[in-house]
Amino acid sequence: MNARDEILARIASAVDDVRDADPDVARAALPRTFRTHDDGTARDRIDRFEQRLVDLDVAVVRARPDQISERLAVELARRRARRVVLPRGLPAAWRTRLPDVGPVPEHADPATMDTADATVTGCALAIAETGTIVLDGGPGQGTRAATLVPDLHLCVVLASRLVGTVPEAIDRTREAAAAGAPLTWITGPSATSDVELVRVPGVHGPRRLVVLLVDDGASAS
């Protein structure tokens, strides 16, 4: 027995008498004193989500559903993005003002993907409390590489896809996770800190994140 196996055997022996017969039942029985549901209005969630994004250094652009394509074109032009990943399933209405964009395939090889200036996606849902965007690889969301390699990510977030809390988001993504969907949770532009605690942007993904926040009627509910 090598050292690794010996350590694991000792751990298994130490916890053997405290293991749950049914982990799922034990997990369900755990007390949950934290807030699991948001009782605020849809308008509250929209405003809170926008404020969280601003706190995270995310550029937020408000839009109506009929303005999505125009706003995307403006933001891409403002940032001089010419080679753009437009994933499969991206609504045709979102692309009508993007005729001059040179498309990069979402399944492009790494070298080609690295030439992309930006990617445009929708999302599965978003969390108002944390300013988090959740992708599950569904239509219009692109591959994981397509949302991590280009330096700029423009994400269209429909207000109807906003949930209030992280537990609500976990419940909503449970089915996708069980099916093996590539879940990506995005909270602000990519950044990390080096050993001297200096914030370095763009290490694990896009340095710039722009959210097109679209009130698709949710605030009236």
pLDDT for position 26: 80
Instruction: Compute the radius of gyration of the chain from its Cα atoms.
Output: 21
Rounded to an integer, the average pLDDT of 82-89 is: 94
* For the chain, percent of residues with pLDDT exceeding 70: 98
> Which residue, chain included where needed, has tokens 């896009």?
206
pLDDT at 37 exceeding the cut of 90 = no
pLDDT at 188 exceeding the cut of 70 = yes
pLDDT for position 129: 96
Using one digit for the tens of pLDDT, what is the confidence trace for 89-141? Answer: 999 999 998 867 778 999 999 999 999 999 999 999 999 999 999 999 999 99
How far is Cα 120 from Cα 85, in angstroms, rounded to an integer? 6
Categorize the per-residue pLDDT at 220 as very low, low, confident or very high, splitting at 50, 70 and 90.
low
Rounded to an integer, the average pLDDT of 40-66 is: 95
pTM reported for the whole predicted model: 0.84
What is the DSSP pairing of strand 125-127 with strand 118-121?
Answer: unpaired
Tell me what the pLDDT averaged over the chain comes to.
Answer: 91
User: What are the start-end ranges of the H helices in 56-126?
Assistant: 68-78, 110-113
pLDDT at 68 exceeding the cut of 80 = yes
Categorize the per-residue pLDDT at 221 as very low, low, confident or very high, splitting at 50, 70 and 90.
low
How many residues in total does the chain contain? Answer: 221
Categorize the per-residue pLDDT at 196 as very low, low, confident or very high, splitting at 50, 70 and 90.
confident
How far is Cα 179 from Cα 67, in angstroms, rounded to an integer? 34
How far is Cα 107 from Cα 89, in angstroms, rounded to an integer? 14
Rounded to an integer, the average pLDDT of 170-192 is: 93
Compute the Cα dihedral for 132, 133, 136, 142 and give only its sign: negative
- Using an 8 Å Cβ cutoff, are 213 and 159 in contact? yes
Q: Which CATH architecture has domain 41-220?
A: 3-Layer(aba) Sandwich (3.40)
pLDDT for position 28: 81
